[in-house]
Amino acid sequence: MVRRIAILTSGGDAPGMNAALRVCIRAGLHYGKEMYVIYDGYRGLVEGNIHQVNKEFTQDIINRGGTIIRSARLPEFKNPEVVQKAADILKDFEIDALIGIGGDGTYKGLESLSKHGVKVCGIPGTIDNDVGSTDETIGFATALNTICECVDKLKDTSGSHQRCSLIEVMGRDCGDLAMHAALAEGAEDVICVEHPLKEEKLFSKLRKMKAQNKSHAIIIVSENLLNINELAEKISKETGFEARTEVLGRLQRGGEPCAHDRILSSRLSAEAVRLVIEEEGSHVVGMKNNTVVSYDITEAVKMKHEHTHGLRALIDMLQ
């Protein structure tokens, strides 16, 4: 029987992690379980930074950005000896189940722990929306809203100077943030893995816009793909538009979670707690077609994220 449940947050922080933590703790207490938090992700787990919490711990955190139990990256967690040490520590603390909130890297860590006899459940928390076993991850909607706020502001200054703004957004290898932002902002172009740069097409469009005396152009670029400063230089030389770059960076991670992320966190977390208490084996939770679903963790880590159906075609149609 599961008596003690611990929760950690891992990988990049995402708005809504605290809302998820809140519901995990409250749902666990509701089922009569003893609830623990682990500070600093897998690093804190290996160091035994584990503390029992009560309902008061969850007060006023539903709207707080970041993660109050902090996150960390521990590359050594790929090493089976480190995973074994973590499993032993959980045993020492008599923790019967571990819930991890994070992205696909966090899920791999959880899966390793499950192979060392720990009962685990993963909750998808990452702004990148790159987890295969869910349509949406906690933090994505808030990060998208933040990007849109920034782009709206950039449009004002861009338009005042007749500039082309290249705006780099996060997403790791997933273009969801870039494509959704491009759609929401009516951007002139988006460059991401799913929608690669077509240089000549872009230049000719910008030349045409310049000839029509358009006030500004917005191009959303996903991180890790190309050097946006070099592209901006080329645009300035080839099209007549003065191009400027903005890297939004970690700004995208911050801020209060939007209502959508708070609700998503709550629905997924309640199911995660139920699963570790009532079901055998280790799982992850996710949202498919607006329904909460769960998968065996080993099956889940093999699933590839598919970007929103039809989004690329829609972006092309509107350009």
CB of 284 to ligand ATP, least distance (A): 12
Q: How far apart are CA 147 and CA 139, in angstroms?
A: 12
On whether the CB atoms of residues 287 and 135 are closer than 8 A, the answer is yes
Work out how close the CB of 129 gets to ligand ATP at its nearest, in angstroms, rounded to a whole number.
Answer: 10
Q: How many residues does the chain have?
A: 319
Q: Are the C-beta atoms of residues 298 and 111 closer than 8 Å to each other?
A: yes
Q: Which of 13, 40, 104, 128 is catalytic?
A: 128
Q: Find the part of the chain contacting ligand ATP (CB under 6 A) among 1-9, 68-76, 179-187, 305-313.
A: 68-76
Q: To the nearest whole angstrom, how small is the minimum distance from the Cβ of residue 12 to ligand ATP? A: 3
Q: Looking at the DSSP assignment, which residues form a beta bridge with residue 222?
A: 169
Closer Cβ to ligand ATP, 73 or 305, answer by number: 73
Tell me how far apart the alpha carbons of residues 130 and 286 are, in angstroms, rounded to a whole number: 12
197 vs 247 by CB, closer to ligand ATP: 247
Please work out the total of residues on this chain that contact ligand ATP, with binding judged by CB under 6 A.
Answer: 20
Residues within window 72-111 making contact with ligand ATP, judged by CB under 6 A: 73-75, 77-78, 102-106, 108-109
Helix (H) or strand (E) holding 288: strand 283-288
- In the list 9, 112, 158, 252, the residue contacting ligand ATP (rule: CB under 6 A) is 112
Crossing angle of helices 104-115 and 80-92, in 10° steps, is: 70
Residue of minimal CB distance from ligand ATP?
105
Position 126 contacts ligand ATP (CB under 6 A):
yes
How many CB atoms are located within 10 Å of the residue 186 CB?
A: 11
Q: For residues 36 and 42, which CB has a smaller minimum distance to ligand ATP in the complex?
A: 42
Active site residue 128: yes
- Is 260 a residue that touches ligand ATP (CB under 6 A)? no
By the rule CB under 6 A, 171 interacts with ligand ATP = no
Pick the piece of the chain touching ligand ATP (CB under 6 A) from 9-17, 177-185, 190-198, 304-312. Answer: 9-17
Q: How far apart (Å, rounded) are the C-alpha atoms in residues 240 and 96? A: 64
Please, what sign has the CA dihedral across residues 139, 141, 143, 146? negative
Per CB under 6 A, 274 contacts ligand ATP: no
Measured from the CB atom, is 32 or 75 closer to ligand ATP? 75
Nearest distance in Å: CB 23, ligand ATP: 19
The catalytic residues are 128
Q: List residues binding ligand ATP (CB under 6 A).
A: 10-12, 42, 73-75, 77-78, 102-106, 108-109, 112, 126, 128, 172
